[in-house]
């Protein structure tokens, strides 16, 4: 069975939840600015109140902001995810591999042994019988 991933596009959050999110963010930013003594702090509370009222009374007005916010999130995802994975790869796996090579550790046992008859590793205890793999479904 082949599944299509196109139909699993991310759903937009509700316009009301985006309004509440922005109201909370601007209120928190206003609180930080009040704590620091910034003179423009009350404007953050005004913006938070506007977003909160829009979210409660007319959330449909926040639909364009919702779509723009999700487009920004998708763009950030396309940029940040490869960067984070690349940094993790080069910051974690590369040094571990270098240490393993310097110390001579061969975790996958890939070295060629001309004296070996086989590279088969006997399993202990033995696994399931071959008969148990027939008619699985």
Tokens of 27: 């209120």
3-class state of residue 114 by DSSP: coil
Question: How far apart are the C-alpha atoms of 29 and 1, rounded to whole Å?
Answer: 50
Mean pLDDT of 12-28: 93
DSSP state of 9: P
14 in Cβ contact with 55 (< 8 Å): no
Per residue in 43-75, pLDDT (tens digit) is: 999 999 999 999 999 999 999 999 999 999 999
Residue with tokens 């006997």: 122
Calculate the average pLDDT of the chain: 89
- The pLDDT-based confidence of 7 (bands split at 50, 70, 90) is low
- The pLDDT-based confidence of 6 (bands split at 50, 70, 90) is low
């Amino acid at each position: 069975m082949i599944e299509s991933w196109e139909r699993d596009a991310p759903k937009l959050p509700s316009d009301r939840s985006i309004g509440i999110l922005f109201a909370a963010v601007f209120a928190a930013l206003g609180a930080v600015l009040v704590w620091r003594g910034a003179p423009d702090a009350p404007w953050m509370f005004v913006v938070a109140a506007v977003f909160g009222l829009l979210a409660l009374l007319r959330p449909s007005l926040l639909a364009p902001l919702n779509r723009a916010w999700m487009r920004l999130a998708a763009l950030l995802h396309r940029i940040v995810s490869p960067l984070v994975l690349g940094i993790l790869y080069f910051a974690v796996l590369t040094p571990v591999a270098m240490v393993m090579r310097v110390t001579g550790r061969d975790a996958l046992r890939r070295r060629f042994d001309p004296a070996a008859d086989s590279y088969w590793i006997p399993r202990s205890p033995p696994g399931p019988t071959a008969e148990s793999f027939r008619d699985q479904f």
